[in-house]
Structure 1
Amino acid sequence: MATPVTAALLRRMPLPCHREGDDKNARGSVLVAGGCAELPGAVLLAGVAALQAGAGRLQLAVCRSVAPPLGVAVPEARVIALPETEEGHIAAAAAPLLARQGSRAKALALGPGMMGGAEGEALTAGLLEALEGPALVLDAGALAVLPACRGALRRHAGRIVITPHDGEMAALLGIPRAAVQDDPLGAARQAASRFQAVVVMKGGCTRIVTPQGEAWQCDRGNVGLATSGSGDTLAGMVAGLLARGATPLQAALWGVYAHGEAGRRLALAQGPVGFLARMLPGEVPRILAELAPEPPEG
């Protein structure tokens, strides 16, 4: 069984409060790393979502060739240019630089838009080995290497969220996709235990599972969320909440709910399909504010 994620449940586990007068550092720094020459926009989507979930500072780490235009597109961010392969993917040699930058952040989201096969897998493995400190959201291109990195993952136990869809989950567990579709909650529980991470098993009904097997489900979304870039925005929202000081479970529950509620509101305003992933983050500040208690005075 899984507990439904509702507004009432979230109000019983409130996000960290931020007082008037706090500077941007009080809400934490996020580093989003990923993308490639073909998919630079995935990092943009995740980064903007992290800021609109309340993070104070944003860094985007991408291939050198796409760094300048990304910096113009997201003027709120510091953009880090990484070494890249001839094919336009982040080179494995970028791992030490990413580890240095990531160790200074409160949260790191790795994988949106990231491709590169063996090179990308080597980058992820090298980063997980060298990184110290931040909470992690591992998404998309960062997921494939996890079965071979369980030793490195243990170094980060207690501060990891992974966000697979059913195809990525099948690859993580080495089982057919149909088996995941038949029992998504069981697959999520298996992955959470194996990788010692909070699992966000994305789907029409998203399951959130802890390494201890506790489970929640959220069916707040709609068919309109099944669109390009939607998963990138979810990864960014979770990372932004982690930067603010939320636990991995809090960040996953709040992020999944806010993502689904944003889709619900856009569907009511725009129609059930056709709204864009880039429109989701703009709904999030209002959703979070409606769920938050009044901030303390002083």
Structure 2
Amino acid sequence: MARPRAAALTEASLAHWPLPDPGPDGDKEARGQVLVIAGSAELPGAALLAGTAALRAGAGKLAIASPASIAPGLALAIPESRVIALPETRGGGIAARGCEALAPLAEKVAAVVIGPGLRDERGSMAFVRRLLPLFRGCTVLLDSIAMSVATQRAFDQPVLLTPHAGEMAHLSGLPKEAVAHDALAVACEAAMRWNACVVLKGASTVIATPQHRAWCFKGGSLGLATSGSGDVLAGLMGGFAARGLRPEHAAAWAVVVHAKAGKNLGRRVGPLGYLARELAAEVPGLIRQFAR
């Protein structure tokens, strides 16, 4: 088999995939709704980071579904969002029966982000397996332990997976060193095997599709390797997907904008020490800059 090749992903690349224009009279419905299913008692902030990023990417509406124990706090922390409290497993995850509360949203949302900050891998897998068929008509992004369902099935609906090297090692059974050594080949093989768009994150990030297309982004910075940064990236992808971009194009916009936000903060704050929560505020201005 021929060795896979990847196109370079740069800021200029985004001009090939312009964001849909809602028009001067477009309301929030025209920019799509995002459902973020995230958080746990230990990591409630992950839901906040992902949800805020989705709105900063320009999504029109946001709903957050989280374990019942943290839902009231999230509702206060992000008043722009509807917050749905879901039943919890004994391990602190979301119980599969929680899908019943989310089913009415299936015809309303354009993108779903599942996984930031979730706990209880086994319980979360049961929840995700039940949820996926309900949201067949939109882009679903699986992050963190929600990606574990990929070990059991290939997908038959639009799905984004966002592993870093360690997570890809867990999902694929390969040593972490092997993943890092040949990220392009690993991502391309995984995309075909799982029938999903795979965003393999790292110093260089690879985006691969089951249709044998791939891009490589090398514009990251050390400061982005910080707690919560991946949650922001997942939320950005969900926001761009809700606005109407294909999964791989939503991923490309998110990766480039996320990196540029980090560089902006690196110049103002310092190359290390800026916080993931500060990234999202950079996004609207960057979208305006790139959209030109």
Contact 2:56 2:283 in 1 (8 A): yes
Contact 2:165 2:176 in 1 (8 A): yes
Separation in 1 of the partners of 2:274 and 2:96? 35
SS in 1 for 2:58: coil
The one-letter amino acid paired with 1:176 is P
> Gaps (5+ residues) in structure 1?
294-298
SS in 1 for 2:66: strand
1:28 has 2:32 as partner: yes
Separation in 2 of the partners of 1:95 and 1:52? 27
Separation in 1 of the partners of 2:249 and 2:103? 25
Contact 1:2 1:217 in 2 (8 A): yes
1:271 has 2:275 as partner: no
Q: How does 1:73-92 map to 2 (within 5 A)?
A: 73-92=77-96
Alpha-carbon offset, residue 130 of structure 1:
3.6
Contact 2:121 2:146 in 1 (8 A): no
Match of 1:296 in 2: none
Match of 1:285 in 2: 284
Contact 1:102 1:108 in 2 (8 A): no
Moved more, 117-126 or 258-267: 117-126
| TM-score normalised by structure 2 residue count | 0.95
Moved more, 99-108 or 222-231: 99-108
Separation in 2 of the partners of 1:117 and 1:223? 29
Alpha-carbon offset, residue 278 of structure 1:
0.6
Match of 1:126 in 2: 130
Alpha-carbon offset, residue 103 of structure 1:
4.2
* CA spacing shift, 1:57–1:140, aligned 2, 3 Å: same
Match of 2:221 in 1: 222
Contact 2:54 2:238 in 1 (8 A): yes
Q: How does 1:239-278 map to 2 (within 5 A)?
A: 239-278=238-277
How big is each residue's C-alpha offset from its partner over 1:80-106, in whole Å with a ceiling of 9 and x where there is no partner?
000112443211221333344344211
How big is each residue's C-alpha offset from its partner over 1:102-128, in whole Å with a ceiling of 9 and x where there is no partner?
442110000111111211111111112
Count of residues in correspondence between the two structures: 288
Q: How does 1:36-185 map to 2 (within 5 A)?
A: 36-150=40-154, 153-154=155-156, 156=157, 159-185=158-184
Separation in 2 of the partners of 1:173 and 1:100? 34
Separation in 1 of the partners of 2:40 and 2:90? 11
| TM-score normalised by structure 1 residue count | 0.93
* CA spacing shift, 1:203–1:99, aligned 2, 3 Å: farther
SS in 1 for 2:148: coil
Alpha-carbon offset, residue 30 of structure 1:
0.2
> Gaps (5+ residues) in structure 2?
none
SS in 1 for 2:198: strand
CA RMSD between the two structures: 1.3
Contact 1:15 1:250 in 2 (8 A): no
Aligned-pair identity (%): 47
Alpha-carbon offset, residue 250 of structure 1:
1.1
Separation in 2 of the partners of 1:229 and 1:8? 27
Q: 1:2 aligns with which of 3, 6, 18?
A: 6
Separation in 1 of the partners of 2:174 and 2:266? 34
Contact 1:16 1:245 in 2 (8 A): yes
Separation in 2 of the partners of 1:281 and 1:131? 26
